Structure 1
Amino acid sequence: MSDSIPLELLPGSSKIFQDFLIENTCDCSNVISKISERIYNRSLLTKLINFSIGEENLSDLQKNNLILLQESNTFAVVTGQQAGFLGGSLYTLFKAVDTIRISNELSNKYPDFKFVPIFWIEDNDDDLKESSVSCIYDSGNVPKYVNLNFDENLCVSGKKVVNEDLELIQSLKDDFKKYQFGQQISEIIDEVFEIGKSWSECFQNLYQKILGQYGLLFISASELMKSGIFQNLVLSELINTGYSQIAVDKRNKELEADGYHIQAQVSDINLFYHIGDKRFRIDIENENFRINNELIDKNSLIKIANENPENFCPKVLLRPIFQDAVLPTVVYVAGPGEIAYHKQTDYLYNLFNVIKPCLVMRTSATIIDKKAARYLSKIELKPSYFLKSFSIIEKELADNLLGAEHNEVFSEFQEKFLNLYSDLEKYLLSIDNQLDKTVNGALVRINEQINQLDKKAHSAAKRTNEELLQKYQYLSNLIFPAGKLQERTISPLVFLAQSDELITQLLNNKAENKHHIFIEI
Structure 2
Amino acid sequence: MKDYLDEKPDVKSLYHRFPNIKNFENQIEEKSIEWSSKSLERQNLVNVLRNQYNGLEDVDKVLYNIDLLEKENTFTITTGHQLNLFTGPLYFFYKIIDTINLTNKLRSFYPKYNFVPIYWMASEDHDFEEIQYFNYAGKKIVYETDQTGAVGRFENRELDKVYKVLELSLGKSDYAQELLQTFEKAYLKTSSLSEATRVLVHNFFKDDGLLILDADDTTLKRTMFPFFKQEFTDQKSYNQVNNTLSSWPDKYKVQVNPRENNLFYLKDNLRSRIISHENDTYSIDGTDLKFDKKEILEVLNKYPERFSPNVILRPIYQEVILPNLCYIGGGGEMAYWLQLKQMFDSYNVTFPILLLRNSVLIATEKQIRKLTALKLSVQEMFLHPDKLKEKVTNLHSEIEIDFSNQKSHLKKQFQDLYEIATKTDHSFYGAVAAQERKQIKGLENLEKRLLTAQKRKLKDVNERALKLQEQLFPNGNLQERVLNFSSFYEKYGSQWLEKLKSNLNPFDLRFTVIKLPD
- Structure 2-normalised TM-score? 0.79
Residue type of the alignment partner of 1:483: G
* CA distance 1:336–1:44, shift in 2 (3 Å): same
1:103 aligns with 2:97: no
Q: Does structure 2 retain, via aligned residues, the 8 Å contact 1:157–1:277?
A: no
* CA distance 1:204–1:460, shift in 2 (3 Å): farther
- CA distance in structure 2 between the aligned counterparts of 1:283 and 1:494, rounded to whole angstroms: 44
Q: Does structure 2 retain, via aligned residues, the 8 Å contact 1:132–1:150?
A: no
> Residues 347-391 of structure 1: CA distance to partner in whole angstroms, max 9, x if unpaired?
211222211111112111111123323322333322232224546
Residue type of the alignment partner of 1:355: T
- CA distance in structure 1 between the aligned counterparts of 2:44 and 2:323, rounded to whole angstroms: 13
- CA distance in structure 2 between the aligned counterparts of 1:306 and 1:326, rounded to whole angstroms: 18
> Residues 326-356 of structure 1: CA distance to partner in whole angstroms, max 9, x if unpaired?
0000111121111111111112112222111
Listed as ranges, the matches of 1:16-415 within 5 Å are 25=18, 27-37=23-33, 38=35, 39-40=38-39, 41-136=41-136, 138=137, 143-151=138-146, 153-163=148-158, 165-177=159-171, 181-194=175-188, 197-223=191-217, 228-240=222-234, 242-256=235-249, 259-287=251-279, 288-292=281-285, 293-294=287-288, 295-390=290-385, 393=388, 397=392, 404=399
Deviation at 1:494, TM superposition (A): 2.2
Deviation at 1:513, TM superposition (A): 3.1
* CA distance 1:51–1:379, shift in 2 (3 Å): farther
Q: Does structure 2 retain, via aligned residues, the 8 Å contact 1:80–1:120?
A: yes
Deviation at 1:74, TM superposition (A): 0.5
Residue type of the alignment partner of 1:291: I
SS in 1 for 2:351: coil
Q: Does structure 2 retain, via aligned residues, the 8 Å contact 1:48–1:224?
A: no
Deviation at 1:298, TM superposition (A): 0.9
Residue type of the alignment partner of 2:85: F
- CA distance in structure 2 between the aligned counterparts of 1:243 and 1:107, rounded to whole angstroms: 37
SS in 1 for 2:475: helix
SS in 1 for 2:361: strand
**Structure 1 equivalent of residue 409 of structure 2:** none
SS in 2 for 1:289: strand
SS in 2 for 1:272: strand
Q: Does structure 1 retain, via aligned residues, the 8 Å contact 2:328–2:356?
A: yes
> Residues 216-241 of structure 1: CA distance to partner in whole angstroms, max 9, x if unpaired?
0100132367763433322232222x
**Structure 2 equivalent of residue 515 of structure 1:** 510
- CA distance in structure 2 between the aligned counterparts of 1:92 and 1:225, rounded to whole angstroms: 28
Q: Does structure 2 retain, via aligned residues, the 8 Å contact 1:88–1:134?
A: yes
Gaps of 5+ in 1: 1-6, 9-14, 409-450
SS in 2 for 1:249: helix
> Residues 239-275 of structure 1: CA distance to partner in whole angstroms, max 9, x if unpaired?
22x2211100111122236x32211110001111113
**Structure 1 equivalent of residue 419 of structure 2:** none
SS in 2 for 1:57: coil
Deviation at 1:401, TM superposition (A): 5.9
Deviation at 1:403, TM superposition (A): 5.6
Q: Does structure 2 retain, via aligned residues, the 8 Å contact 1:134–1:147?
A: yes
Residue type of the alignment partner of 1:495: F
Query: What is the Cα-based RMSD across aligned positions, in Å?
Result: 3.1
User: Which piece of structure 1 moves more, 50-59 or 302-311?
Assistant: 50-59
**Structure 2 equivalent of residue 475 of structure 1:** 468
SS in 1 for 2:340: helix
Deviation at 1:477, TM superposition (A): 3.2
SS in 1 for 2:247: helix
Deviation at 1:504, TM superposition (A): 2.9
**Structure 2 equivalent of residue 430 of structure 1:** none
Deviation at 1:455, TM superposition (A): 7.9
Q: Does structure 2 retain, via aligned residues, the 8 Å contact 1:98–1:362?
A: yes
Gaps of 5+ in 2: 404-447
**Structure 2 equivalent of residue 4 of structure 1:** none
- CA distance in structure 1 between the aligned counterparts of 2:296 and 2:140, rounded to whole angstroms: 43
Q: Does structure 2 retain, via aligned residues, the 8 Å contact 1:127–1:152?
A: no
* CA distance 1:456–1:195, shift in 2 (3 Å): farther
Q: Does structure 2 retain, via aligned residues, the 8 Å contact 1:228–1:309?
A: yes
Deviation at 1:174, TM superposition (A): 4.5
Identity %: 24
- CA distance in structure 2 between the aligned counterparts of 1:25 and 1:50, rounded to whole angstroms: 33
Match for 2:488 among 483, 495, 507? 495
Q: Does structure 2 retain, via aligned residues, the 8 Å contact 1:398–1:461?
A: yes
* CA distance 1:209–1:194, shift in 2 (3 Å): same
Q: Does structure 2 retain, via aligned residues, the 8 Å contact 1:135–1:145?
A: yes
Deviation at 1:170, TM superposition (A): 2.6
* CA distance 1:390–1:185, shift in 2 (3 Å): farther
Q: Does structure 2 retain, via aligned residues, the 8 Å contact 1:17–1:340?
A: no
> Residues 288-331 of structure 1: CA distance to partner in whole angstroms, max 9, x if unpaired?
11213543211111110011110001110111100000000011
Residue type of the alignment partner of 2:298: K
SS in 1 for 2:491: coil
How many pairs align? 456
Residue type of the alignment partner of 1:35: K
* CA distance 1:55–1:47, shift in 2 (3 Å): farther
* CA distance 1:482–1:123, shift in 2 (3 Å): same
**Structure 2 equivalent of residue 11 of structure 1:** none
User: Which piece of structure 1 moves more, 304-313 or 487-496?
Assistant: 487-496
